[in-house]
Each structure stands twice: as C-alpha cells, then as structure tokens.
A and B are shown apart, each in its own frame.
Chain A
Amino acid sequence: MTIPTPVLQVEDLAVCYGKVEAVSGVSLTVPPASIVTVIGPNGAGKTTTLSALMGLLPVRAGTIRVDGQPVGTPEVSQMVDHGIALVPESRELFGSMSIEDNLVLGAFHRHRQGARDSRQTMEQVYDLFPRLRERRTQAAGTLSGGERQMLAVGRALMAKPRLLMLDEPSLGLAPLIVRDIFRILVDLRQAGIAILLVEQNARAALQVADHGYVLENGTVRMDGPAETLRHDPRVIESYLGLNSKHQQMLAS
C-alpha cells in the first residue's frame, strides 16, 4: 500500500506572537480526505498554529509542504491559491451583507482565476445548510450563533478547498447544532476534503478524527491515531474526563 502524499505537511514550525515564541518545533501531517484534530489547553498555541499556516501570523522557522511542494513563507492569498481555507474562531463575517453576498465573496478568488461555477457550489452549500438558503437575503449580522457558524463554514467551502482548517467550530453552539456540525465534517471528508480541526469538545473531535495531536505549551506532546488517543489514560485524565456522556452524544 502506498502512502498518499499529504495535503499538508508541517515540520518544526515556530511562530512568535509578539516577543514570545508561542509555538516551537511543531510537526504535523494531514493526509487527503482525513480529519486531523489538535487538542490541548487554552494558550497552548492551537489558534496561533492555524493562523501561521494560513499566513496571518509570521512564521519564524519550519517548512510547510502542500501536496509535497514546499511553500516558502505562507501568505494568505497564496494559501488560498493552494486550496486551503480557514474558518477562524471569531467567524469574521461581513455583518451588513446578506448571507448570499457573504457566500459569493467566499468564491471571489476562484472567480478571479476564471472559475464560473460558483452558482453550483452555492447550491451545494445550500444543500448542506438548508437553513442558509431559507435566510439567504438576511444580513449576516442578524443571524444567531449557530447560523453564523454555518455561514462561516459555508463561505470557506465556496472556495472549494482541499484542506479546511476549523478553529473551534462548535464555540457557543447548542448541542443539536454541534451534532450537525460534526455530521457535516464527516460528510466533507467523504467528499474528499481534508480537515484540520481545533475543537473544545475533545472527545467528540477524537471520535470523528482519524489522527490526533496533543499540543501543550506550544509543542506537540503526543500524537497518534485518534482511536488510540481516545483510550490513552493520560489524554482521558487531562482532556476527555470520565463523565462526559453529553459530549459523546455530539459525535454520534
């Protein structure tokens, strides 16, 4: 069996946040059509890592390969070119624009490259999130928390990414919606999209993921198949807990 070329391969990544080295020596790999999750405490450097990979924060050291090809210093437009999309923790929607306009903007880059199939992509996004179709003329700023997250994911999908990076997609969402989000992540994987997931519901994340990394104090402490991590006593003790029947439901 040959190992497929990973969509994203990061070696020895170091990122500074101000004067502090927030992330150092982080290596991680995201194979095609797989879900990879990064868990760890607050301030461990998870958001910093995603931001640096997207080109939002300067990378201090390390190599980044997309489809095996080295990318020098990541820049946002270049990473978008490579088919990478980030759904940030803060969502960053255009509040005064309608849902549909937000989605159209998601395809801006592809449109400029000559792709004219954004209408079709939008239909796919609407199929995934019927709620967005119902409200497509409504201003994004008036949406509830769950709908905003749907729109943020939908907008990222409009760029037809091969790698989708999600920072806390379930933040502030009701359990029912969180289940939807996890279900959609699994669907997206089936459609061939690779996913790098940072998620507070560690148990649910490890349940849907193929591989997991534990990030502590800016370095990778542990990594392995998600199934293995899920049963690792150290991970259970620090990140999963024993009494989490509700969280387990989220990924069912």
Chain B
Amino acid sequence: MSGAPVSSTSSRPAGRGVSWGLLRPQTLLVLFLLAVLLAPLVLSDFTVTLLNYVGLSALVALGLVLLTGIGGLTSFGQAAFVGLGAYTTAVLTAGTDLPPALAMLAGSPWLALLIGLLLTSVVAIVLGSVTLRLSGHYLPLGTMAWGISLYFLFGTTEMLGGHSGLSGIPPLELFGFPLTESRHYYYVVWLVVLVAVLTSRNLLDSREGRAIRALKGGRVMAEAMGIDTGRARMIIFVIAALHACTAGWLYAHLQRFVNPTPFGLHIGIEYLFMAVVGGAGHVWGALLGAGVITLLKQWLQDILPRLFGSAGNYEVIVFGLLMVLMLQRARDGLWPLLARLVPVRQEVKRIDPQAAPLPRKDQPPHGEVILQAREVTRRFGGLVANNAMSLEVRAGEILALIGPNGAGKSTMFNQLSGVDTPTSGEILFRGRAIAGLGARRIAALGMSRTFQHVKVLPRMSVLENVALGAHRRGQRGVLSAAWRLERAEEARLLRDAAAQVERVGLGEVMHDEAGSLALGQQRLLEIARALCSDPCLLLLDEPAAGLRLKEKQALAALLTRLRAEGMAVLLVEHDMDFVMGLVDRVVVMEFGQKIAEGLPEDIQSNPAVLEAYLGGVDA
C-alpha cells in the first residue's frame, strides 16, 4: 500500500460540477476589506453607528451559523451569553461596593473581557453538558429554558442593578486614547468580526471542522469514523457562546450602559432569525443576515408608522411575513442566492503530492486471528436477531457472511463494530474484549466499516468525506485549525485521503459533491473512507450492491490486493458471482443463527444453504 501511486490532482482540470468563474475569491475578500476600511470615511454618523450594531449582531449570528446551521444544534438562548459578557464588564468596570475578591480584578475593560470569556466558558460547559444530550425539539426548548433563567437572573440580582441596569461604564481605551466616537469604535468592532469570520472559516476547513460538519449527518457514522461527537458538539457550543460574550462586551462599552432588555428570549430569537435569513450554512451568511435585518428593521421603523399614520411596532409583523416567505422560497438563506449572482471561481482543494505520508500501523502477521465472536446473542424484546453466533476472521483472509434478508447479518455487523451491544456473548478484537466498548473506541483499535444504507455527507466533496476516515490519524486541535497552524498535518491527511479516493477508482469525481454520485459510487466512497483510517479489519456491508460488472471486477481486485497486504475483511453481500470468486471462507446465517460455514465450493452445494438462500443452483 505504501507504493500506491498518488497523482497530483491540483494540475488536473476541475472535475464535473466545478464552474470556472471570473473572480478569484481572494479578490472579492480584498474588495470587501477595503469597503469595511473606507466605510466610516464616507458614511454618515448614524449609518456608522448602525454598522456597529450590525457587527455586534453578526458576531452572535456567526456563532449560530457554527452551532445551528453547520452543527445542527438549534439555540434560542444566545442573547443570554451576550448578557453574560456585557454584565461581567459592566460590574467590573462600573460596579460599586464590589466584594474584595472582585475589586482586585476591577477597573480594566480588557481584563474584564478575559474574565467574561472564562466565565462564559464555564457556564457554557455546565449548560452544554446538561442540554446537549437532548435531541430533536427538546434541545431548542432546553436552550429557551436557560435563556429565560439567565435573563431573569440579570433582572433580579441587586448587584447587577435589577431592571434599571448599570450605568457609567467607561469607554474602551487604546493606548490612552478613549474610543468614545462611533467612527473609532467601528474599527474595533469590525476587526473583531473579521477575525471571527476568518478563524471560523479556517476552522471549518480542517480536521476538526470536518468532524463538526459531520454532526448533521447522524452520529452513527461519525462515531464509527472515530469522531467524538459529544466533544464536537461541546466545542461549537462553547465557541458560539464565546462569540456572543465578546459581542456583549463590545456592546457594553459602546452603550456604556446595560439593562436586561437586550438579553431576553425574543432577542435570542432575532439572532437565530439573522442566521437563517443570511444563510445558516455559510459563515458569510451571518454578516449578510445581521446586515439585512438590522438595516431593514431601522428602515421599516421609519417608514411603516408614516405609512399607517400611527405609531407602533409594525416592523415585527412585516418581519414575521418575510420569515414565512423566506422559509418557503429560500430555505438556505440569502447568501447562496447572492453567491450565485457573483461569478466567483470555485477553487478545488489542492493536494500536495510532496506531503509526508501519514504513519501507518503495522499489519498483524498473516493468519493471526483478528476478530473472534463467541456465542453472540442479541435480543430485541422477544425477537432474537442473533442467536449464539460465532465466527472468526484472520489477517489476510476474506470472510463472507451471507444469508436471506432479515437473517440478522447487519445486526451482527452492528454488534461487531460497537454500534450496538450484544445481550450476551463475547467479541475479541486482536485478543481484546470489545463488546460494549462503543464504535469510536473500536474504530481506534483498527476496525473500520461501511454501511448497508450509505451514510455520506451529500454537500461535502468526495475528498473531504473520505478524509473523515482519517480523523484519528491527526492530532491538531481547534485553536491551531482556527489560526492555520495545522496546514502540514492537513496536507498529509488530504494526501492520504486523495490516495484512497484514487484507489477505489473515484479520482475523476474527487472534488464533486458526494450527493451527486450514483449510489454504487457512494458505496466505493465509503470503502475509501474506511481505508483512510488505516484499519487492519474491514467490515463491508453489501459493498457490491448497485455496482456494474467492471466496477465489481475492480472492487474484487482491490480487495484481493488488500488481502495480500494482510488486511482481514468481513463482508456481507448478495452477489454470489462476486462472493464465490473472491472470498476464502463463507458463513451462512438464517433466522439469526449460523447454518453453515466452509469453503465457497462446499457452501454452494450445501443442501441447507441451497434451500434457505441460493435456491437450488445445482438442483
């Protein structure tokens, strides 16, 4: 395998589906930065102030893009974290009669930011560990619950000024120069926003980022690829909270006054609204959404009362109608619509053929027993899906598990790979008991699998999907990803992923969205993803289903090569021409039990197998 050719794909013309626009993304970014830089010089005071508020909201919405749009965790409570940041700095810089412990830390807004971030992390971790376990609509309801609690905490705590709030917050100072004017404060706000946008983008385009993007695709696959999904959820929850806290800190020193109103539940809903309108799946969508909503709100507040001839919060009604329209017409938000209008060149990922290959585990010696299942039984209520199943797979051997539909083959796969836990029985992987260990830990030991019903991330490229498999072969964390300090490791991961993509014959479509592939090709993608984890045992659930003759031949050749390298393979498959010509031994299941085991030739003439499964081939 070390000698597998790695072709440089960066010089190849882009694959299908990649358009070649006129503008490079970098050019657009520079234009945008220039616009941000020059805006205060040409705009009115009022507009600059509005832009400050756009920036603050964008920061919170950005956290929601990560958390809700990309991670799939809906939160209505972000405004409470904004409040945490704002009140921390308000108390520390303007509070009177502070207890001695706090008085030591008081005075500096910058120190207050640091303390706010720390406090927010602690609160987020506590709240996250309680609420993130919830699924479905319970999670958003949970975020509402603590959102409301924190709001009332701000309003009723005497030290925080109750509902009348705290005033007298000093302005930020930079090198002794107080930032009291909107125009000056603008640069602080937008510097923070841009740094947050760029670090978020960097993060998403990394090993940790792929793990985060995998959350929405279901946890079973991610865990089977060795991704700690609980940790990934907590990471984005804390990041989103820290963004909100920073926005609160900026808000406090902009307003120089805080009260509980802007940290309530309805404001939390408005932040979510911004992320959705802008495009919750896109980092830039947060900016767009915050801009559109803030400016539109201002404009509507001016124009509607004049239109109706009386004062009132008419904009709320208009927003409601707009939201309904958006959800019907443009569910992905405005950003994708905007992006379609601008002819940006989509750049495919570069693969560095010079990147050092990733270290590989030594394959166990040929013939060593890799996997051993002893009397594995799995009951679902009264149904016995697996009944005292025993089998073993050796290094350098391909074992087929066949049997009628509903015989319990996939259930057996789930027991072996840790997706499910056997009711009784023992499973040894390289001599170690693994029953009940969980998919992630088993994956770390060197077992990798594919799924009967393919589990790929349809909007992610083939290459990135495959790179998910290499998750455990990298170490660099979130911070180094945000600041691009892990590029050397990332290049190695991508190089390995690219090699696996080529290996299964998907080189042509490497940069296409996985969802655009035919089903058979998605199965090959899953095999590449499994190989990317450098396993010593592959579990393949119907790898040839949907493949055509040539593709099956190529797959058989690949598996033969892997076997020669010492890989152990266990596969479930219904194509008997494929199975009988390829595998070393066959285990046959019916009604959850083993009914036969032996060499392919013997199995094909076994009367029990003929009756239960093959249907009298030689009869």
Please, which residues of chain A bring their CB within 8 A of the CB of B516?
Answer: 17-18, 20
Chain B CB within 10 Å, residue with most, of A39, A44, A173, A175: A175
Instruction: Name the distance in Å between B146's Cβ and chain A's nearest Cβ.
Output: 32
By beta carbon, the residue of chain B nearest A180 is B615
Binds B, one of A79-87, A224-232, A244-252: A244-252
Tell me whether B520 and A172 are in contact (CB under 8 A). no
By beta carbon, the residue of chain B nearest A41 is B548
Q: How far is the CA of A40 from the CA of B404 in the complex (A)?
A: 27
At the interface, yes or no: B35 with Cβ under 8 Å from chain A? no
**Taking A17-B516, A179-B615 as contacts, is the C-beta distance between A200 and B546 under 8 angstroms?**
yes
**Taking A42-B548, A147-B405 as contacts, is the C-beta distance between A47 and B613 under 8 angstroms?**
no
Q: How far is the CA of A228 from the CA of B40 in the complex (A)?
A: 76
Residue-wise, chain A 203-231 has the 8 Å CB interface mask toward B (1 for contact) of 00000000000000000000000000000
Instruction: Name the distance in Å between B403's Cβ and chain A's nearest Cβ.
Output: 7
Tell me whether A172 and B577 are in contact (CB under 8 A). no
Tell me whether B615 and A47 are in contact (CB under 8 A). no
Q: How far is the CA of A47 from the CA of B405 in the complex (A)?
A: 24
Q: Size class of B's contact patch?
A: 35 or more
Instruction: Name the distance in Å between B218's Cβ and chain A's nearest Cβ.
Output: 15
Tell me whether B549 and A43 are in contact (CB under 8 A). no
Instruction: Name the distance in Å between B286's Cβ and chain A's nearest Cβ.
Output: 25
- Among candidates B542, B548, B576, residue contacting A40 with C-beta atoms closer than 8 Å: B548
**Taking A41-B548, A42-B520 as contacts, is the C-beta distance between A175 and B574 under 8 angstroms?**
yes
- Among candidates A173, A175, A240, residue contacting B576 with C-beta atoms closer than 8 Å: A175
Tell me whether B404 and A177 are in contact (CB under 8 A). yes
Instruction: Name the distance in Å between A202's Cβ and chain B's nearest Cβ.
Output: 7
Tell me whether A42 and B403 are in contact (CB under 8 A). no
Tell me whether A246 and B548 are in contact (CB under 8 A). no
Tell me whether B617 and A245 are in contact (CB under 8 A). yes
At the interface, yes or no: B19 with Cβ under 8 Å from chain A? yes
- Among candidates B542, B548, B550, residue contacting A172 with C-beta atoms closer than 8 Å: B542
Please, which residues of chain A bring their CB within 8 A of the CB of B613?
Answer: 174-176
Q: How far is the CA of A114 from the CA of B343 in the complex (A)?
A: 52
Please, which residues of chain B bring their CB within 8 A of the CB of A40?
Answer: 548
By beta carbon, the residue of chain B nearest A235 is B549
Please, which residues of chain B bring their CB within 8 A of the CB of A100?
Answer: none
Instruction: Name the distance in Å between B612's Cβ and chain A's nearest Cβ.
Output: 8
- Among candidates B17, B406, B513, B518, residue contacting A42 with C-beta atoms closer than 8 Å: B518
Please, which residues of chain A bring their CB within 8 A of the CB of B326?
Answer: none
Please, which residues of chain B bring their CB within 8 A of the CB of A47?
Answer: 518-519
Please, which residues of chain A bring their CB within 8 A of the CB of B205?
Answer: none
Please, which residues of chain A bring their CB within 8 A of the CB of B612?
Answer: 176
Question: Considering the complex, which residues of chain A in the window 147-185 have a beta carbon less than 8 Å from any beta carbon of chain B?
Answer: 147, 168, 171-179
Chain A CB within 10 Å, residue with most, of B513, B548, B580: B548
**Taking A43-B517, A240-B549 as contacts, is the C-beta distance between A249 and B617 under 8 angstroms?**
yes
Please, which residues of chain A bring their CB within 8 A of the CB of B546?
Answer: 42, 89, 168, 171, 200
Residue-wise, chain B 544-559 has the 8 Å CB interface mask toward A (1 for contact) of 0111111101000000
Please, which residues of chain B bring their CB within 8 A of the CB of A239?
Answer: 548-550
At the interface, yes or no: A146 with Cβ under 8 Å from chain B? yes
Tell me whether A42 and B519 are in contact (CB under 8 A). yes
At the interface, yes or no: A2 with Cβ under 8 Å from chain B? no
At the interface, yes or no: A243 with Cβ under 8 Å from chain B? yes
Residues in chain A within 8 A of chain B (CB atoms): 17-20, 39-44, 47, 89, 143-147, 168, 171-179, 200, 202, 238-241, 243-247, 249
11 contacts between A and B (CB under 8 A): A18-B513, A20-B16, A42-B551, A146-B405, A174-B404, A174-B405, A175-B576, A175-B614, A239-B549, A243-B577, A249-B614
Give me the 3 closest cross-chain CB pairs, A-B, nearest first.
Answer: A144-B406, A42-B520, A246-B576
